[in-house]
Chains A and B, each alone.
Chain A
Amino acid sequence: MGLRFYFLRQALLNMKRNVTVHILSLGTIVASLLILGAFLLLFGNLSNWLRQWGTALSMSVYLKDGTSAYKRDKIDSFIRGLPGAQIRRFISKEDAMNELKAALREEAGFLERLTHNPLPASYEVVFEASRTEEIDPEKIKQQLEALDGVEEVQHNRQWLKRLEGVLDVVSLIGYIIGGLLCLCVVFIVTNTIKLTIYSRRDEIEILKLVGATDWFIKLPFLLEGMMQGILGGGLAILALFLGYLAFSAKKIYLIGPAPLEFVFLPVGYVAIVFFLSTVLGIIGSFIAIGRFFDV
């Protein structure tokens, strides 16, 4: 029992004696982890938004000009036959033009000079959320475009595919940067602990001479590195949370009419960041204590 406190006391004493070094390195660790955490936060929210947006499947089916009512009926019934499909509305050429005018407001003047309406009529189709998994939008697109009178079909998953590609690249870059930052943390801890070992080298020599085992001498340094990791992780998460609070106070209207919800890292991620920094602290100090001089 007494021994456990001895190690903890030694570790704290080390930190107190080299307080400047520890504060400097702690600052760097926190900064590194903060970058990592901020990246996780942004990435997590981005993929969240994308998922929310992606689960809803909607299609616009554009019709050729002058499609007869008969052909339209056929298209109409084909769409109704699709699993989970629902025609939200039919937008005639005139409707489309009116909507465009409404959207453009004052700048709509040039539309008056058009001799004919260039906008196509279209169906807006939505699919039941529960059935979107079993639907292959590309196949439906092909089937619809094969119908007489259909000009083109667009669905929101086309965009999703591209965005997911971008997200993959972003996450790859994230992994690389994250890896480098982790190395950076290990490097800082290693050097900090090396410094405290150096500052105590006389004491270590004497400890060995009076019969201390290697682990007896090493353990306080290992604890010291671990505490750096714990402190660094804790402070970084705290700073990230404060930053999040300040940032999320402003609602973000990026895409669409509904404000996107900006959420903090899930508890699991917070735990991972914390655990990671603790482990990095241990690894860093483990490297530092690896080479002990023989007495």
Chain B
Amino acid sequence: MIQLFHVSKNFGPSIALNTIDIKIAKGEFVFVTGPSGAGKTTLLRLIFGAEKPATGHILINAINLNRISRSKLDLLRRKIGFVFQDFKLLPKKTVFENVAIALEVTGFRPKVVKKKTHQTLRLVGLAEKEKAYPLSLSGGEQQRVAIARAIVKDPLILLADEPTGNLDPDLTREIMTLFKNIHQRGTTVVIATHSRQLLEGTDCRTIVLNQGNISGDTR
């Protein structure tokens, strides 16, 4: 599903990723971990096509991102859900609108948009907060809105960047359960996190990044 061949990425002189190779199969649940600055976010952004690799090739669902046109990338992104570290919610839109936007851009009929958005918000436990505005929500609730927006279009791949960043342990567990549920439905899930706590006792595949190099892979 996700394949990286000799991928490097640098920002000026600083090297974020140093010729790495990764293969993630369809339906896998993978953690990407490592200290801050290791290149986790950069890796996710590369997979999402938000950054271009300096060298190497990235294949998503057998499509080479180097060879893809701008409009094809837009279409591909509809199959990838991304939970951003800073959520990227629109403060002037309601929770419902924030989630519905991901369906609206794909041209679904309004009826379908409504139905699916309601469903997804129920799934993340925010059915009561549909009409609220993001800034009136707690951190955990905002996080769940961001997740709802990422999964509302039933993506093939779900990428999440530090999704439990500053949540308390109870909320963290709740969110992880949510990801597991999404994984159950067949979605390939990749979660970047620097939290050891999150990985404790997990039997999921874990890729460890260190200063742009892969220093461990539990596969």
Kindly provide the distance from the CB of B103 to the nearest chain A CB, expressed in whole angstroms.
9
The answer to whether B70 and A214 touch across the interface, beta carbons within 8 angstroms, is: yes
B106 at the interface (CB under 8 A from A): yes
Tell me if A213 is interfacial: C-beta within 8 Å of chain B.
Answer: yes
Give the segment of A100-108, A156-164, A167-175, A200-208 that binds chain B: A200-208
Per-residue 0/1 for B138-157: is the Cβ within 8 Å of any A Cβ (1 yes, 0 no)?
00000000000100010000
Residue in A closest to B77 when the chains form the complex, CB atoms: A211
Is the beta-carbon distance between A202 and B90 smaller than 8 angstroms? yes
Given A207-B105, A209-B82, are A214 and B149 also a contact pair (CB < 8 Å)? no
Which residues, 1 to 50 on A, are CB-close (under 8 Å) to B? 1-3, 6
Contact A205 B88 (CB under 8 A): yes
Chain A min CB distance to B147 (Å): 13
**Residue of B with least CB distance to A206:** B88
A258–B69 alpha-carbon span in the complex (Å): 71
CB closest residue in chain A, given B155: A211
Task: Say whether A211 contacts B107, CB under 8 Å.
Answer: no
Q: Mark B99-135, 1 if CB is under 8 A from A, else 0.
A: 0011011111110010000000000000000000000
Write the nearest CB–CB distance from B157 to chain A, whole angstroms.
12
A3 contacts across to B, CB distance below 8 A: 107
The 8 Å CB contact of A212, one of B74, B108, B113, is B74
A206: B residues at CB distance < 8 A: 88, 90, 101
Q: Could you tell me the distance between the alpha carbons of A212 and B78 in the complex, rounded to whole angstroms? A: 8
Residues of chain B lying within 8 A (CB to CB) of residue A205: 88
B77→A210 contact, CB < 8 A:
yes
Does B71 lie within 8 Å of A1, measured CB to CB? Answer: no
Chain A contributes a number of interface residues (CB within 8 A of B) equal to: 18
Residues of chain B within 8 A (CB-CB) of A209 are 50, 77, 82, 84, 88
B15 on interface, CB distance cutoff 8 Å = no
Contact among A1, A202, A210 for B105, CB-based, below 8 A: A210
A214 to B106, CA, bound (A): 12
- Counting CB contacts under 8 A, is A198 at the interface? no
CA distance A1 to B149 in the complex (A): 23
Within 8 A of B (CB), among A197-239: 202-203, 205-214, 216
- Residues from chain A with a CB closer than 8 A to the CB of B153 are 210-211
Give every chain A residue within 8 A of B106 (Cβ-Cβ): 211
How many contacting A-B pairs (Cβ < 8 A)? Answer: 50
Tell me, in angstroms, the Cα distance from A212 to B106 when the chains sit together. 7
Q: Is B54's CB within 8 Å of the partner chain A? A: no
Measured in the bound complex, the distance between the Cα atoms of B75 and A207 in whole Å is 12
Q: What is the chain B residue whose CB lies nearest that of A216?
A: B105
Among residues 240 to 279 in chain A, which have CB atoms less than 8 Å away from a CB atom of chain B? none
B104: contacting residue among A1, A6, A208, CB under 8 A: A6
A214 x B88 contact (CB < 8 A): no
Bound complex: CA of A211 vs CA of B108, how far in Å?
13
**Residues of chain A with a CB closer than 8 A to B104's CB:** 6
Complex contacts, A210 vs chain B, CB 8 Å: 77-78, 101-102, 105, 149, 153
Instruction: Say whether B77 contacts A214, CB under 8 Å.
Output: no
The answer to whether the Cβ of A114 comes within 8 Å of any Cβ in the partner chain is no
With contacts A3-B107, A6-B104, A206-B101 taken as known, whether A211 is within 8 angstroms of B78 at the C-beta atoms is yes
Q: A63: shortest Cβ distance to chain B, in Å?
A: 85
Name the distance in Å between A289's Cβ and chain B's nearest Cβ.
15
Please report the C-alpha to C-alpha distance between residue A2 and residue B104 in the assembled complex, in whole angstroms: 9
Top 3 closest pairs, chain A to chain B, by CB: A211-B77, A212-B105, A211-B78
- 30 CB contacts below 8 A, A to B, read A2-B107, A2-B108, A2-B110, A2-B113, A6-B104, A203-B90, A206-B90, A207-B101, A207-B105, A209-B50, A209-B77, A209-B82, A209-B84, A210-B101, A210-B102, A210-B105, A210-B149, A211-B76, A211-B80, A211-B102, A211-B105, A211-B106, A212-B74, A213-B71, A213-B74, A213-B105, A214-B71, A214-B74, A216-B105, A295-B50
Which B residues fall within an 8 A CB radius of A? Answer: 50, 70-71, 74-78, 80, 82, 84, 88, 90, 101-102, 104-110, 113, 149, 153
Q: Apart from A206-B90, A213-B105, what 9 extra A-B contacts exist at CB < 8 Å?
A: A1-B109, A3-B107, A208-B74, A209-B77, A209-B84, A210-B102, A211-B78, A211-B153, A216-B105
